[in-house]
Structure 1
Amino acid sequence: MKYALVIPDGCADEPQASLGGKTPLQAARTPHMDAIARLGETGLADHVPASMPSGSDVGTMSLFGYDPLQFHTGRAPLEAAAQGIELGADDWAVRCNFVTVDRGVMKSFTAGQISNADGARLIEMLQKQHCGDEHWKFYQGVSYRNLLLYRSRDGRAPLKQDTTTTPPHDITDQPIAGHLPLGSGACDLRAMMDASAKLFADCDVNRERTARGEPLATQIWLWGQGRRPAFVPFADRFGVQGAVITAVDLLRGIGRLLGWQVIEVPGATGYLDTDYAAKGRYAIEALKGGTDFIVVHVEATDEASHEGHTDEKVRALENIDHHIVGPLHAYLKEQGDYRLIVCPDHPTFCRTKTHSHGYVPFAMCGAGIEARGTTYDEPAAAESGVVLDRGCELMPRFFGR
């Protein structure tokens, strides 16, 4: 028995005027996702509890069958795990974005999708210029996604449970003044953000970016802090060995903490230009190689939403359907008994350019699942009558447990 999950991150959305009142899922040509719906079951699941911020750290944790109210400690510790960084019991990890702030307004939470090469140089500058103290250390990630770690040597740390921060992708085109860190340790985080702005103001990296006509990395933005989580291994819960394909450190980290193999795919970028076909091929090869459960995560739909590009979101959905869902489903049907599910982690609205709370549609088919769906989109899922208020119940349902 083989199992597969495809995650079109943030694909759930509202009806769009530019799409004739349809959602991107309704407007996109997705014959393979629709086939899953017709062959099986559709429904709605809510992966983000109302008391928690909406994001992929919370949403995917729930999607994988783990109640975020019990297991979630923060986003950054998950990304630290992706890099193989061990956290002590009193250590903290903080997400560190390169951003573009112009006249006090968040213009880009990615500093124009800054390159790994430019990011590495900025991280080196931050570390050498001591934007923190001897307890703090910066780690490079991918593009704009980096980490800042606090290493505790005496069992104490400036950050506490009351420390609050705001994801920069939630405040695109908004003034940053009302969204700076608050609570315990906020002064330390703000001081490092301010120091980075002074350091970056006249650095070689930004002079070169100006010459190339690229957005400046004006400063770092610190958020998503947390301590190490403790998960029950996925194989112990569901009896299968898993593997994950993703270009996002967050998903790599969760995968490693669950005991999954993390499969690196050349050309997987975490953006709209990702190699969809390569992800589909590697997923099939993983199943052929003995993996019981393959997870394919695609960030492109979420990125299109953050940029407010409805047409790009539709195009990304069509690429996921054609290059990943279609070939993967065809292989699964050929090899024997299987189950396949498509589900995002949370809605991301093109209108607001940010993550939202609310239900997302799922479609799953395969051995033992009765065929009673129609198409894969938000209205069809709502009409099914299947509603999971606790999204963490979807994975046990998928595995028949």
Structure 2
Amino acid sequence: MSLNVNKMKYVLVIPDGCADEPQASLGGKTPLQAAKTPNMDAISKAGIIGQTDNVPESMPSGSDVGTMSLFGYDPHEFHTGRAPLEAAAQGIELFPGDWAIRCNLVTVEDGKMKSFTAGQISNDVAAELVGLMQKQTCGSEHWKFYPGVSYRNLLVYRARGGKAPFADDTYTVPPHDITDQPIDESLPMGSGGCDLRELMEKSVELFAECESNQKRTENGELAATQAWLWGQGSRPNLEPFIERYGVRSAVITAVDLLRGIGKLLGWDVIEVEGATGYLDTDYAAKGRAAIEALRGDLDFVVVHVEATDEASHEGHADAKVKALEEIDEKIVGPVHEYLKSTGEYRILVCPDHPTFLRTKTHSHGYVPFTMCGAGIESKNVPSYDEVQAAASGDTIDNGYELMGRFLKK
């Protein structure tokens, strides 16, 4: 059942994984407290601030679960895995019995996960490695590898009317959760685990024989040492967003996961030149693209920025602060200023989950949100950060409830 909303313009900005802990290197402040974010602070002062829990404790912490909650869908009901969402982004259709699996290209040294991105491996080398893995499985009609962007690739199991080797007890671990840790206890287990481990083991030899991959080492870059398979799942059944909430929507992102969720929800997916999904993304181009989208007949635009999450995965506090300041100056500021000229509007800033610099990985827990606009009475809180959000007394335990509150006038 859709909400009865008057026509307004809505924007959600997602600084992925920006929520964090106090850092000694930042004088005991969190990155949000240390960053100069006058535009986010202005939203907090003009509206409200609070905290929301987007990832249920019983589910793995990641953007697949966190953003599904943030977009207003209970992950307990709708989440089937991360890879199916990314398959949708690539236009890969999953049929009954089919499963999608994330295929990272990673660097493992001395039995430890040195880099879950293989040093941000280039697209051309990644595509060659994925092609080699496809050749090794050419004797099977069930397995199909699909190249993506850099280290992010996909493997699909086609059931072809049969029964997949996977089940709900299949257990995999995201490689970004074990940075600098031994990999032995994080290998795939349960139904299908043996199949996945066998493919991963075969990739080690293939990658070692690939000349363009090994040349990366000669150039002072990290070579991919193997594939890492994780995030498996079947196609989710998501109710179209316009039927659920009554607004026409679009998403701006450089990450396939968000593209996939957007497509499954019936959103427009806006591609932006210079958007990389990394710290070097073109923040200003994303801001301009959001404003241009709002000039059309769309009601709701989501701007997702991965840079803050990547900074945490690499353990770089200064880079996380800089990314927050870029988001504030080049996306939140210009977009909010434009919204003020359109009539009635609302703007919301909220990350999907915390990503701690200390652990270099995603975490469970509350994240701060702030929103302002039509019908939202100001609480006059001077800044947007974790401490102010916790002190506000405004806590949403089920993160999927925030979207309905944001869109309901």
TM-score by length of 1: 0.99
Amino acid at match of 1:187: C
Q: Does 2:110 correspond to 1:103?
A: yes
**Paired residue for 1:310, among 314, 317, 320?**
317
Output one character per residue of 1:331-357: Cα deviation in whole Å (capped at 9) or x when no partner: 000111100000000000000000000
Aligned to 1:393: 401
Q: Where do residues 167-316 of structure 1 align in structure 2 (5 Å cutoff)? A: 167-316=174-323
**Paired residue for 2:75, among 41, 54, 68?**
68
Structure-2 change in CA distance of 1:157 and 1:392 (3 Å): same
Q: CA offset at residue 211 of structure 1?
A: 2.2
Unaligned runs of 5+ in 2: 1-7
> CA contact under 8 A between 1:131 and 1:196: conserved in structure 2?
no
**Paired residue for 2:163, among 141, 156, 160?**
156
Q: Where do residues 12-91 of structure 1 align in structure 2 (5 Å cutoff)? A: 12-91=19-98
> CA contact under 8 A between 2:51 and 2:390: conserved in structure 1?
yes
For 2:392 and 2:137, locate their aligned partners in 1 and report how far apart those are by CA, in whole Å: 56
SS in structure 2 at match of 1:113: coil
Unaligned runs of 5+ in 1: none
For 1:53 and 1:128, locate their aligned partners in 2 and report how far apart those are by CA, in whole Å: 32
For 1:131 and 1:220, locate their aligned partners in 2 and report how far apart those are by CA, in whole Å: 17
Q: CA offset at residue 131 of structure 1?
A: 7.6
Structure-2 change in CA distance of 1:369 and 1:57 (3 Å): same
For 1:311 and 1:20, locate their aligned partners in 2 and report how far apart those are by CA, in whole Å: 12
Output one character per residue of 1:298-336: Cα deviation in whole Å (capped at 9) or x when no partner: 000000000000000000000000000000000000111
For 1:249 and 1:72, locate their aligned partners in 2 and report how far apart those are by CA, in whole Å: 16
SS in structure 1 at match of 2:289: helix
Amino acid at match of 2:336: H
Amino acid at match of 2:126: G
Output one character per residue of 1:99-156: Cα deviation in whole Å (capped at 9) or x when no partner: 0001111000000001111111111111122288320000011110000000002330
For 1:205 and 1:56, locate their aligned partners in 2 and report how far apart those are by CA, in whole Å: 32
> CA contact under 8 A between 1:91 and 1:227: conserved in structure 2?
yes
Q: CA offset at residue 164 of structure 1?
A: 0.3
For 1:55 and 1:268, locate their aligned partners in 2 and report how far apart those are by CA, in whole Å: 21
Structure-2 change in CA distance of 1:102 and 1:316 (3 Å): same
Question: Size of the alignment, in residue pairs?
Answer: 401
For 2:125 and 2:400, locate their aligned partners in 1 and report how far apart those are by CA, in whole Å: 39
Aligned to 1:375: 383
Q: CA offset at residue 202 of structure 1?
A: 2.3
Amino acid at match of 2:388: A
Aligned to 2:346: 339
> CA contact under 8 A between 2:208 and 2:214: conserved in structure 1?
no
For 1:210 and 1:275, locate their aligned partners in 2 and report how far apart those are by CA, in whole Å: 28
Aligned to 1:384: 392
For 1:252 and 1:66, locate their aligned partners in 2 and report how far apart those are by CA, in whole Å: 16
SS in structure 2 at match of 1:391: coil
For 1:126 and 1:295, locate their aligned partners in 2 and report how far apart those are by CA, in whole Å: 35
Aligned to 1:358: 365
Aligned to 2:4: none
**Paired residue for 2:172, among 165, 168, 173?**
165
For 1:349 and 1:181, locate their aligned partners in 2 and report how far apart those are by CA, in whole Å: 25
**Paired residue for 1:141, among 145, 148, 155?**
148
For 2:191 and 2:371, locate their aligned partners in 1 and report how far apart those are by CA, in whole Å: 44
SS in structure 1 at match of 2:51: strand
> CA contact under 8 A between 1:48 and 1:58: conserved in structure 2?
yes
Amino acid at match of 1:396: G
The sequence identity of aligned pairs, in percent, is 72
For 2:24 and 2:80, locate their aligned partners in 1 and report how far apart those are by CA, in whole Å: 38
Q: Does 2:136 correspond to 1:129?
A: yes
Amino acid at match of 2:299: D
SS in structure 2 at match of 1:223: strand
Aligned to 1:2: 9
For 1:182 and 1:207, locate their aligned partners in 2 and report how far apart those are by CA, in whole Å: 30
SS in structure 2 at match of 1:339: strand
SS in structure 2 at match of 1:256: helix
SS in structure 1 at match of 2:250: strand
4+ residue segments displaced more than 4 Å: none
Q: CA offset at residue 208 of structure 1?
A: 1.8
> CA contact under 8 A between 2:20 and 2:355: conserved in structure 1?
yes
Amino acid at match of 1:318: E
For 1:54 and 1:179, locate their aligned partners in 2 and report how far apart those are by CA, in whole Å: 16
> CA contact under 8 A between 1:6 and 1:342: conserved in structure 2?
yes
For 2:298 and 2:52, locate their aligned partners in 1 and report how far apart those are by CA, in whole Å: 26
How large is the RMSD of aligned CA atoms in angstroms?
0.9
